[in-house]
Amino acid sequence: MHFDLAIIGTGSGNSLVTPDFDGKHVAVIEKGLFGGTCLNVGCIPTKMFVYAAEVAESIRGASKYGIDAHLDRVRWRDIRDRVFGRIDPIEAGGRDYRVNGPGTTAYLGTARFTGPRALVVDVDAREEEVTADQIVIATGSTPVVPQAIRDSGVRFYTNEDVMRIDELPRRMTIVGGGYIAAEFAHVFGALGVEITIVTRGPQMLRAQDETVARAFSELAAQQWDVRFGTTVAGASQEGEVILLTLSDGVQLETDLLLVAAGREPLVPEGVSLASVELTQDGRVEVDEFGRTTADGVWSLGDVSSAYQLKHVANHEARVVAHNLTHPEALEEFDHRFVPAAVFTHPQVASVGLTEQQARDVGHDLTVKVQKYGDTAYGWAMEDTTSFVKLIADRRTGDLLGAHLMGPQASSLIQPIVQAMSFGQSAVGLARGQYWIHPAMAEVVENALLGLEFD
């Protein structure tokens, strides 16, 4: 069949079916769960688990506020079923709407390119040929699994299935030191699982500003058994127990192995037949408008973006949706100030340049690290480890980066994101508005006021 538009992937790609395509023929192709990574195995379910973990941590830490409390029991299946009792109906509803609703033809299978704007979709052991005037690749990403673990034959989990386990294990080993590893360590550790982390780097969250990465790694080592500078060299299954051999020769036993070593672009097969080129790191190459190197083929989200973030994929989908039907007035992606957060313990958020990146490009810097504990709300929380780090240009007054570690970091950073996006100076942000006293946001205000300018 021939279509006006064919979309491969139903994460952010699902939002491309706008009113501009009313009366046109649109194919939607999905091999897995409708809604993509974020809805089903990523940001939304994980944050629902994180919230339960935060409740557990609050109970354990209540005594320092003069409240005697104890955690009686963790009802894992109730926690899990609360999450997927909300999410699974949304996935099913999205699938039903595309399969049976108006305006789209759904292909439930795996697509591969066979030529320019030509696809074959494997559906129920048969092949369906699809061509289209325009095609959008929105296939997302897939977990990276180290070869030593893949070849070992042991049962391992990733973010795509670990949240649906029936029982909590006594011990869990997590391979990886990035945001996925940090978030799951928080979730399962807070719910009572003994956590060991095996990470090849000298620190966790290495992509963060050095101040954050160092501070978080120190706190992580206090919460969990973190094996820095190591990898899994081999693994074997002995009954219900997994025996891991690490690169330093140490052997350790675990009851569940979670691989959280990052995600890589899930590129459809045959893209070269369609003249779609890839970047050196394996992503689909796109320009500032979302166009690939092939005429009429577009891409967005994790499969092509340098940012594996849902809010970036949503932004790119809005841009591509416009550009598909307005070739005379193309819009560009805006990747200037992309914020990100890690919902671990403590929470981490960042936007803009790290201090080292800012120095490398030649800025004359002013830097301020403001502790939560030096503000009134920080006193109320008895906080001793959280901080806001701001980086600005000493001459221009422009904010260059913000890096937060502590409660509600993902929300506290938003005024900084807004100021950077709209060109507001650090002084203008600090003095151009009221800051509620003694709210937690005062830590951002004080950090701004601590910057020194010429």
Active-site residue, selected from the candidate residues 2, 326, 335, 437: 437
* Long-range contacts at 442-446 (CB < 8 A, ≥ 24 apart): 442/375, 442/376, 442/377, 443/370, 443/371, 443/372, 443/374, 443/375, 443/377, 443/378, 443/386, 443/388, 443/412, 444/370, 444/388, 444/412, 444/415, 444/416, 446/370, 446/374, 446/375
CA 129, chain centre distance (Å): 34
CA distance 411 to 50: 15
Tokens of 209: 């500003």
> Whose CA is closest to 417, among 335, 357, 360?
335
Cα-based distances in Å from 272 to 13, 118, 265, 288, 387: 21, 12, 15, 21, 48
Provide the greatest CA pair distance for the chain: 69
E strand residue ranges, 165-261: 171-175, 194-199, 225-228, 232-238, 241-246, 251-254, 256-259
Q: Does the annotation count 311 as an active-site position?
A: no
Specify whether the backbone of 325 is left (phi greater than 0), alpha (psi in -120 to 50) or beta. alpha
Q: What is the amino acid identity at position 387?
A: F
Task: With beta carbons less than 8 A apart as the criterion, state whether 446 and 373 touch.
Answer: no
Question: Pairing state of beta strands 256-259 and 171-175?
Answer: parallel
Three-state DSSP class for 5? Answer: strand
Tokens of 121: 């979709």
E strand residue ranges, 263-417: 263-265, 297-299, 340-342, 348-352, 365-371, 387-393, 399-405
Catalytic residue annotation: 437
